[in-house]
Amino acid sequence: MNVGLIGCGNMARALARGWGRPVLCADPVAERAQQLAEETGGEALPSNAEVARRAALVVLCHKPAQLESVAAEVAPHARAVASILAATPLQRLREAYPDTPVYRFIPSLPVEVRQGAVVQAADGSQDSKVDAHVHELFAELGTLVVLDDALVDVAMGLMSCGPAYVALVAEAQVDAGVRHGIPAAQGAALVAQTLAGTAELLRRRDYDTLALRREVSSPGGLTARGVDALERGGLRAAFSDALDAVLRPS
Ligand SMILES: NC(=O)c1ccc[n+]([C@@H]2O[C@H](COP(=O)([O-])OP(=O)(O)OC[C@H]3O[C@@H](n4cnc5c(N)ncnc54)[C@H](OP(=O)(O)O)[C@@H]3O)[C@@H](O)[C@H]2O)c1
């Protein structure tokens, strides 16, 4: 499927790298589009309209505030549109693109290495052959979960914000190790691999987080003490507050 990216920022770059195929693209900063085109073996085009004319699927990678202005250029030409815009429900997308099939996905940065969490929004009115192709395209990027459109922003607060949270957790662990004498580089290697390996174990144990914790925490042991300290430090409450903060209207 011939993909055209509208906007060539962080997430467009991650998607294009994850797909690993040539893309058509446009951006207000021409060099940014040119760079992404060169990296993927694709083509930077002079306008959003030209991308829409040439692509089988247009992927909206600009900011949510630009929905209407971009739609004015893209809608007359697009055959199908997939949006990754935060806080922009399917209904708003359909109003902006009334005559085009529209899809809503929320990716996360690890799509760049095809290890992303991706959410596809559903509200019961999707159909047709194009849907399967679009779904498969985004499913290439990692684990794709279909959720009701009303829950997509909640999901975004977990998985799109997640890489920043996980990076912060990793940094905190590394700093704790540094305080006790572990060099930062070695500490970071240990922590990053622990995160990656634990994610794989959770998948193999049907995402049963408690079962995994029990395997590591022998009664009266060191891990149980560490987990208790994290709980007392408010780890759960901090993540709960983080999600509230993300979902609070700005
Ligand atoms: N980053 C994430 O983890 C993440 C996760 C899920 C969803 N999203 C969504 O993905 C979208 C992009 O986010 P991002 O982090 O990649 O932002 P970004 O790095 O700022 O990229 C947005 C790009 O769109 C360009 N742009 C602005 N106006 C445009 C127009 N009229 N036509 C075409 N391109 C235009 C911007 O150019 P200028 O900088 O010159 O304005 C910029 O290069 C957002 O809607 C965001 O909600 C992001």
Question: Alpha-carbon distance 89 to 151, whole Å?
Answer: 10
Output the pLDDT for position 1.
83
Q: Whose CA is nearest to atom 9 of ligand 1?
A: 85
Strand ranges for the chain from DSSP E: 3-6, 24-26, 43-44, 57-60, 81-83, 102-106, 116-122, 142-148
Q: pTM higher than 0.85, yes or no?
A: yes
Q: Confirm or reject: Cβ of 61 under 6 Å from ligand 1.
A: yes
With contact defined as beta carbons under 8 Å apart, do 105 and 143 qualify? Answer: no
Determine the atom of ligand 1 nearest the C-alpha atom of 87: 47
Q: Confirm or reject: Cβ of 106 under 6 Å from ligand 1.
A: yes
- Which pair of tokens denotes residue 196? 């990656």
Cα 12 to ligand 1 centre (Å): 8
Query: Which of 10, 81, 165 should be mutated for ligand 1, with most atoms under 8 A from CB?
Result: 10
Quick check: 125 pLDDT over 70? Answer: no
**pLDDT digit string, tens, across residues 133-146:** 999 999 999 999 99
Q: Confirm or reject: Cβ of 47 under 6 Å from ligand 1.
A: no
**pLDDT digit string, tens, across residues 67-123:** 999 999 999 999 999 999 999 999 999 999 999 999 999 999 999 999 999 999 998
